Amino acid sequence: MTDLFAPLQSLKQGDWFKLICGASFQHLPAVRSLTLAYTLAGADCIDVAADPAVIAAAQAALLVARTLAREAQKRGFDYKGNSPFLMVSLNDGEDPHFRKAEFNPTECPTECPRPCERICPAQAIVFNSIKEDFSGVLSQKCYGCGRCIPVCPYDIIYTSSHMSTPSAIAPLVMSTGVDAVEIHTKVGRLAEFQQLWQAISPWADQLKLLAISCPDGEGMIDYLRAVYELIAPLNSALIWQTDGRPMSGDIGDGTTIAAVKLGQKVLAAKLPGYVQLAGGTNSYTVAKLKAMGLLNDFRLPILDFRLESANPQSKIRLEKFVTEGNPADNFSQNSKSKIAGVAYGSYARVLLSPILEQLENKEVNNTNVQTNLRLEENDVLLWQAVELAHSLVSQIKSQQER
């Protein structure tokens, strides 16, 4: 299957997997490594910050992944060299995904037990770090979860937020070659959403996918219907991302319940487009969806989906199915009445953090000079990372095994 069709096919058959690197996460080595590992493990979409340097790091990893396709197959991973969609996240107002923690470390009493340092899942808070020669918040690593704020005994940690500048959006989308855009919005911000959409819409036809992420709130469904009226007609695929409990998937299994409940609510509204979970998703999510009958349990008919080997009739039919969808044919059984996929953020990143930490530790050579060691340059760590990533990706991908 071609690059264009593979992620869309996953949406339609209900085994879509998205990696969320973080809308404000700008640690380039980690973004590159996460993108590489999850691409080789079979991810359909990589969501990154709308930052040219971050986008470039992800794109570099996608190119490396192609060169490792054959080796991945030898090792038993079902990766054929197809690229996942590269998505950037934007916001139309205040949003926890677009913030950074900040504090002045000189204000910290020496007797403070520093719970902020221990609780940070991104290891973005350091004190007297020899490696970074720094104390405080490493901004590029912070992704805004906010867990450090309530645990500070002296209440000196705060956050700073950033907004997507509409005038900068169009050039970013046009010049960097991203495939998809996700807009983070909130009930009551229709005017702000419209302003952002007006900046994007002249180039919307270049996108393969648009995602709308919105937390629950009073009047949410009516708000989403109003949003749809603004963006319709839309030539690209559309995802409604149900952000249940943002940035909490690594805390514990129970956090996924909010995402599932919100997914059910949006499914019941029968909005045009696909419903994809996020916010609190983790290793428990797919099992919960299966138990509740919210994932497609159909099996696709025996058909060679590789377009290059399909006969002309099958090729035309598959292309029509992937690009348009057709409820009358037998490729799906009302797929849009089920959850189309799951996005994983903090859980997916923390899952690979032991590997990424080892990689960082190996970046300092015997002369203590920092080098830019890349994941693909350490064969052992690379395939350990892919194995870990695959343990998560395969949970939803196994739905479609024949």
Dump pLDDT digits (tens) for 210-219: 999 999 999 9
Q: DSSP state, 222?
A: H
CATH code for the structural domain at 97-161? 3.30.70.20
**Measured distance CA(278)–CA(258) in Å, rounded:** 9
User: What tokens were used for 224?
Assistant: 């989403």
Give residue 128's pLDDT. Answer: 82
Distance linking the first and last C-alpha atoms of the chain: 18
Q: Domain limits of the chain? A: 5-92+178-298+333-349+393-400, 97-161
Whether the domain at 5-92+178-298+333-349+393-400 and the domain at 97-161 fall into the same CATH topology: no
What amino acid is encoded at 238 in this protein? Answer: L
Give residue 93's pLDDT. Answer: 85
pLDDT tens-digit profile, the chain (402 residues): 445 568 999 999 999 999 999 988 999 999 999 999 999 999 999 999 998 899 999 999 999 999 999 999 999 998 989 899 999 999 998 877 777 888 999 899 989 999 999 989 888 889 886 666 788 888 888 888 888 989 999 999 988 877 667 667 667 766 778 999 999 999 999 999 999 999 888 888 889 999 999 999 999 999 999 999 999 999 999 999 999 887 677 788 888 999 999 999 999 999 999 999 999 999 999 999 999 999 986 444 433 333 433 444 444 444 444 444 433 333 333 457 899 999 999 999 999 999 999 998 876 544 454 556 899 999 999 999 999 999 999 999 985 543
CB distance 226 to 256 below 8 Å: no
Give residue 133's pLDDT. Answer: 72
CB distance 204 to 236 below 8 Å: yes
**Measured distance CA(118)–CA(140) in Å, rounded:** 18
- Using alpha carbons only, how large is the chain's radius of gyration in Å? 21
**Measured distance CA(24)–CA(297) in Å, rounded:** 35
User: What tokens were used for 221?
Assistant: 């469904």
What pTM does this model have?
0.86
User: What tokens were used for 145?
Assistant: 């979860």
**Measured distance CA(8)–CA(3) in Å, rounded:** 9
Give residue 122's pLDDT. Answer: 82
pLDDT in tens, 308-332: 334 444 444 444 444 444 333 333 3
**Measured distance CA(56)–CA(172) in Å, rounded:** 12
> Which of 1.20.58.1030, 2.60.120.260, 3.20.20.390, 1.10.357.10 is the CATH number of 5-92+178-298+333-349+393-400?
3.20.20.390
> ω into residue 215 within 30 of 0, thus cis?
no
3-state secondary structure of 166: helix
- Helix pair angle (166-176, 52-67), 10° resolution: 20
How many angstroms separate the Cα of 362 from the Cα of each of 54, 356, 357, 371?
22, 10, 9, 9
Give residue 5's pLDDT. Answer: 67
Range 84-96 burial, b when 16+ CB lie within 10 A, else e: bbbbbbbbbbebb
